[in-house]
Amino acid sequence: MRYSALSLVADALGLAPRVPAWRSPAPKPAYDVVIVGGGGHGLATAWTLAATYGITNVAVLEKGYIGSGNVGRNTTIIRSNYLLEGNNPFYELSLRLWERLERDLNFNAMVSQRGVANLWHTDGQRDAFRRRGNAMRMHGVDAEMWDVAQVRARLPFLDFDNARFPVRGALVQPRGGTVRHDAVAWGYARAASALGVDIIPHCEVTAIRRDGDRVTGVETTRGDILCDRLALATAGHSSRSAEMAGIRLPIETHVLQAFVSEGLKPLIPNVITFGAGHFYVSQSDKGGLVFGGDIDGWNSYAQRGGLATVEHVVEAGVAMMPGLSRVKLLRGWGGVMDMSMDGSPIIDRALANLYLNAGWCYGGFKATPASGLCFAHLIATGAPHAVATQFRLDRFDRGAALDEKGAGPFPNLH
């Protein structure tokens, strides 16, 4: 069924039968492509394979339910304010795909281009942000530099005269913003299912069958499934998935926490990041302030973090915006991240017919549509997409690390 204003009215009046948004078939014995991981990236890949490349005999295997992983745990921010040549065109393509996502999927994902403002506090930060803003503009990406008066006019609630981190200005990407994350998973699942993709939840892959340089299929909690091509999109657990195929990755798994406050009247008009304290915040349409900080810093597969990080994040938030001290924290949660050795992702072929989508650190959500496109392109054509040529797995061995932050091979510093 196509969603529209008319279908909404028909549904409200009880004139149309209610049907699940996507089918729930039992797994078939074999598929052309099996995608492991029913998160945003896996579902976007499946939809792109079907919609763009005409490959519809596809299964998406998800160990939990659809939307139970990081696609439902992130802080919903989209942006393409990257510095490096290898990153910027990819994230800009992603932002352009976000701009047409709802038309492509016929699903309301509440894409809101409310702008992303990165605050700066020192001359050094200003210079670094100006360089990044200029790099963005040279790639055709929107970037503006706001002086302190412009920031004050739009965000009067910030602590401009903070003794340690006075706000001096902001690098702004007006086309950045937020997207309702759950709707991204649901929208892709519904659109992929309509094109014939089998979405199979509660189906955990327990082994990968390998014959020399080829993969022949997977063993799962719902039986064995053969496949011509196998695609792993299990960020957070990529090391574990790849290990089943005998591959060791340049990745560590770390926990990142996020938080939401009680619902408030409209207060924060855009996304604000406070680089000095590693804090970022936006306000959901429901009214809650959605915010997060840095990873806890040690390897963890537990989807929960430590209180010291909670304290640090909240302190940074109050330093940026003193009024936050009066706001009640409603919920906090953790998600586990593939932290790669250079802070950048991997979209590559790992064996003859085994494809790998991994290493998204804590930037995976904004990349969802382009990750799906580039991964599907690689699976369908065998060649990397033009904007993903620097996301190769062997870049570490070639000395071609894509290190946006310049932090070196320390995953807990990216």
Partner 1 sequence: MASLIACPHCGPRPREEFSVRGDAAPLRPAPDAAPEAWLAYLHARENPRGPHREHWRHEGGCGRWLVVARDTATHEVFSVTDVQAAARSAAREGRE
Place of tokens 């700066």: 120
Q: Is 405 near partner 1 (CB under 8 A)?
A: no
Using CB under 8 A, which of 6, 138, 308, 383 touches partner 1? 308
Which residue, 287 or 297, has its beta carbon nearer to partner 1? 297
Which residue, 221 or 299, has its beta carbon nearer to partner 1? 299
Q: Are 292 and 305 in contact (CB under 8 A)?
A: no
Using CB under 8 A, which of 52, 150, 389, 412 touches partner 1? 412
As measured in angstroms, the least distance from the Cβ of 300 to partner 1 is 5
The residue range among 53-61, 82-90, 166-174, 302-310 that interacts with partner 1, by the rule CB under 8 A, is 302-310
Tokens of 38: 């029913």
Using CB under 8 A, which of 45, 113, 239, 261 touches partner 1? 239
Residues 282-301 that bind partner 1 (CB under 8 A): 296-301
Which residue, 13 or 307, has its beta carbon nearer to partner 1? 307
What's the alpha-carbon Rg for the chain, to the nearest Å?
A: 21
The residue range among 6-14, 40-48, 194-202, 235-243 that interacts with partner 1, by the rule CB under 8 A, is 235-243
Q: 160 in helix, strand or coil?
A: coil
Which residue, 247 or 378, has its beta carbon nearer to partner 1? 247
Are β-strands 223-232 and 354-358 bridged in parallel, bridged antiparallel, or unpaired?
A: parallel
Q: Are 229 and 378 in contact (CB under 8 A)?
A: no
Q: What is the DSSP string of 255-276?
A: EEEEEEEEE-SS---SEEEETT
Angle of helix 40-51 relative to helix 181-194, nearest 10 degrees, comes to 30
Q: Are 242 and 270 in contact (CB under 8 A)?
A: no
Q: What is the DSSP string of 156-197?
A: TTS-TT-SSS---EEEEETT-EE--HHHHHHHHHHHHHHTTP
- Cα–Cα distance measured from residue 274 to residue 319, given in angstroms and rounded to the nearest whole number: 9
Q: Is 396 near partner 1 (CB under 8 A)?
A: yes
Residues 337-366 that bind partner 1 (CB under 8 A): 341
The count of C-alpha atoms lying within 13 angstroms of the C-alpha of 61, restricted to the half-sphere facing its C-beta, is 30
Number of residues that bind partner 1 (CB under 8 A): 26
Which residue, 65 or 301, has its beta carbon nearer to partner 1? 301
Residues 242-261 that bind partner 1 (CB under 8 A): 248-253
Binding site for partner 1 (CB under 8 A): 237, 239-240, 248-253, 296-302, 306-308, 341, 396-397, 409-412
